[in-house]
Amino acid sequence: MKWRYFKQNLFLGVVRLSALTIAISLGGFLFYIFVNGLGAISWEFLTLPPRDSMTKGGIMPAILGTIYLTSGAIIIALPLGVVSAVYLNEYAKQGPVVRIIRLGVNCLAGVPSIVFGLFGLGLFVVFLQFGSCILSGALTLGFLILPTIIGASEEALKSVPQTFREASLGLGISKWHTILRIVLPNALPGILTGSILGIGRAAGETAPIMFTASAFFTAKLPTSIFDEVMALPYHVYVLATAGTHIEETRQIQYGTVLVLVGLVLSIDLIAIVIRSYIRKKKRW
Amino acid sequence: MVAVQNNNIIETRNINFYYGDFKALTNVTMEFEQNKVTALIGPSGCGKSTLLRLLNRMNDLIDGTRVEGEVVFEDRNIYDPDVDPVEIRRRIGMVFQKPNPFPKSIFNNITYGPKLIGVKNKSELEALVEQSLNQASLWNEVKDILGQSAMMLSGGQQQRVCIARALAMKPDVLLMDEPTSALDPISTAKIEELIEELKKDYTIIIVTHNMQQAARISDYTGFFYLGKLIEYNLTEKLFTNPEVSQTEDYITGRFG
Amino acid sequence: MSRKLKEIIIKNIFFLFALISIFILGLIVVFLFREGLPIFKVVSVKDFIFGNEWYPTYNPPDFGIWPLIVGSIIVTLFASVIAVPLGVLSAIYISEIAPPLMKEILKPVIELLAGLPSVVLGFFGMVVLAPWLQETFDLPTGLNIVNVSIILAIMAVPTISSISEDALYSVPREFKEASYALGATRFETIAKVIVPAALSGISTAVILGMARAIGETMVVLMVAGGAAAIPESIFDSVRPMPASIAAEMGEAPFRSNHYHALFATGMVLFFITLFFNLIADYISTKFKEVGSGTL
Ligand SMILES: Nc1ncnc2c1ncn2[C@@H]1O[C@H](COP(=O)(O)OP(=O)(O)OP(=O)(O)O)[C@@H](O)[C@H]1O
Ligand SMILES: [Mg+2]
């Protein structure tokens, strides 16, 4: 009998320890980045472009570039994702076709980000001759986050009670109007939270934009979607591996990392908070 | 077996209904008279809801279902390929077992359908809301809170909002699937009264588990067992002097 | 009739859009092949995959990606050794043991961990973990298999943990209650009833976590050290496939053999991850149909 409880306690200990390890990794990591990065953050750092071959100055073009790329990605992925999800959840009958589409979504979700980068290079930059620019990068990122959006939208659509659909259809309202007036409005908060998570993902990705959108350095700000941009994640990579000035720019590196992490995690946190709020206050 | 005159509004003819391979209804032929209340009774799983949902093609929404036979409404088989189920559902409204108002205001719940079929005029909509709520004998209770969410109302009030919502589409027939089973006795009494009132203008077909209810409010009653219509008769006759022994066993509570 | 027609048209438009994911997958294959296949005019498929020498810029160049594949496999395996226990055990903790408040804290923690940009983790590996490893173990470089495996594990843990947790959560309560009612301890119930019932979900989680690790780019690019040779110790540097693609694409002349070889490496990577995803999908659907008959 003692042995049974000893085993149990040992197990509980190990399990708690692993959860603790994860929490501490995140906490320690954030603390470290915060402490080291905070010194770099200033109004100038956030609003000025880099100077002296990026050893001084700010990161404003990279922040702006990330905002452009991410907005572009969500503009592309949101409608496609929502429409796909509506088909899968509202129209499709269970069968081989839906099975294959779902498999496709899952497989797309698993494609490595560097492969998305190659794909964007091959299709948008080379074949369609957009060149390396905001448009190519936003399209690549948009396709990358498409499965995230589809998944979140499907979950949101599933959470709309079946009785709402029946009530509307039972009144003699067409399926399309039912979806438009009842299903989508009720799923909207969930869809939006999912999209916010997609935005967070897009903002942090580096590999897909390395060959499709990111400039090592551009002093001028983009004037059209056919311009190259700097982007925060790529800027971190460039500074950290630049070779000649690595030690000199440490402060800027930490600052950029802090801005990037702060941006991405606050986006995620917003989504998480909204989601738990929606779940709690759900009236049905 | 049935003694109704020929002012039937809907008839089913030799209906067989399948959920995939499972046959839920066998050879059901039934006529529903205009401006009467017809009750469908029978033990759980005997196919009452299936039949009801068949009458306005709500079963279309379930994958893998199949219908054989005809449902005739106004001289037309509603399962003909060129019939639009949306049109049918406008003419044949439905009230569900659990109250299912939309998470909208009371006003918008009721105007939801009319707006979508093109009623835009504000005063017309207001008149329609008042009329429907009056018909559902809810007007006095909610006339000052029309802007509030329908989800805030009591279960019985919610169910009457759903009835008013269905009535606002001006249907000919109202299908009700155990409309009071989720309600308290007082709300139930109110809805029964309401049904009595509504049959002046509408044909009502109601599924119920409550035999007193069927006896109280209906003119005709059909008893189902294992997907078959066992007996269909005037309510009075069916409850006092049933023709089939199975019916008698059921209404006297010897099985079920 | 016209409304019916409209409904049918709408449905079909939605259907076409729903095909977009498959369409993109198709496009990915097409464009990887288009830019990657030309390399096989220079080198055979066998020599490309199993060739031991990756010297794409030498004269004459060597295009053998075997060391890159081995690098990918090794870092993925070592990362799994760390991430699988951590991920599964934390899922057990969250789903079965943690008090509600802990749950409310840990679930977002895992989600935020999943949201950390990989370039930032790579940065952390470079500036913190690498110097520490180098000093502690007196190594020529801290950018090595150990370092990259630790960082990759951090990236894979959220995937493994959240999918496992879903699987554990969906084990019916009756199972658990039945087990407790028979006098089993919590540990016995978890080990003998809950985990076996969730096993297919947990396997899916592990496979997807590994797929995440093998496809991860920035971490291996920044932390793996970059040596394109078969490693001999866990403190050696490696050059996994994504690192090679990301590092060299910028310098490879447009449509040179080197450029084509990098696309072909992308093809290999794509098909490996596709394979992982298909297996994960197979496991999860197969057991969904049978129910949790793994008890
Ligand atoms: N969506 C469905 N898929 C498969 N079978 C179904 C479905 N809905 C109902 N059935 C089956 O069809 C039969 C009739 O069901 P129905 O809902 O019509 O019964 P009911 O008489 O309304 O019962 P209750 O009084 O419990 O509501 C039952 O055996 C049921 O299991
Ligand atoms: Mg029923």
**Residues of chain C positioned with their CB less than 8 A from the CB of B84:** 1, 3-4
Residue C295 pLDDT exceeds 70: no
Q: Distance between CA B233 and CA B219 in Å, rounded? A: 9
Domain A41-283 has CATH 1.10.3720.10: yes
Tens digits of residue pLDDT in C242-288: 999 999 998 888 899 999 999 999 999 999 999 999 999 998 887 76
Indicate whether residue B53 lines ligand 1 (CB < 6 A).
no
Task: Quote ipTM for the complex.
Answer: 0.90
Q: Please name the helix (run of DSSP H) or strand (run of DSSP E) that holds residue B25, with its range, or none.
A: strand B22-33
Q: What is the mean pLDDT of residues C202-221?
A: 93
Question: What pLDDT does residue A284 have?
Answer: 54
Residue C291 pLDDT exceeds 70: no
Answer whether B82 touches C (CB < 8 Å): yes
Question: What pLDDT does residue C290 have?
Answer: 46
Question: What pLDDT does residue A245 have?
Answer: 72
User: Would you list the domain boundaries of chain A?
Assistant: 41-283
Q: Distance between CA B186 and CA A71 in Å, rounded? A: 56
**Residues of chain B positioned with their CB less than 8 A from the CB of A176:** none
**Residues of chain C positioned with their CB less than 8 A from the CB of B86:** 3-4, 7
pLDDT > 90 in chain B, percent: 62
Tens digits of residue pLDDT in B83-127: 888 889 889 999 988 888 888 899 999 999 898 888 889 999 999
Q: What's this model's pTM, rounded to 2 decimal places?
A: 0.85
Task: Indicate the pLDDT class of residue B167, thresholds 50, 70 and 90.
Answer: very high
Contact in structure between B235 and B221 (CB atoms under 8 Å): yes
Taking each helix axis from N to C end, the angle separating C257-290 and C199-215, rounded to the nearest 10 degrees, works out to 170
Lowest mean pLDDT among B21-25, B66-70, B102-106: B102-106
CATH annotation of C42-294: 1.10.3720.10
Which of B58, B86, B94 is nearest residue A174 as measured by Cβ atoms? B86
Q: How far is the CA of A165 from the centre of ligand 1 (A)?
A: 19
Positions in chain A short of pLDDT 70: 1, 52-55, 216-219, 243-244, 282-284
Q: A211 and C250: CB-CB below 8 Å? A: yes
Question: What pLDDT does residue C69 have?
Answer: 95
Give the A:B interface size as CB pairs under 8 Å: 71
Phi-psi region of B69 (alpha: psi -120 to 50; beta: other; left: phi over 0): left
Residue C183 pLDDT exceeds 80: no
Residue C292 pLDDT exceeds 50: no
Residue B252 pLDDT exceeds 70: yes
Ligand 1 atom with the shortest distance to the CA of B47? 18
Tens digits of residue pLDDT in A198-222: 999 999 999 999 989 877 666 677 8
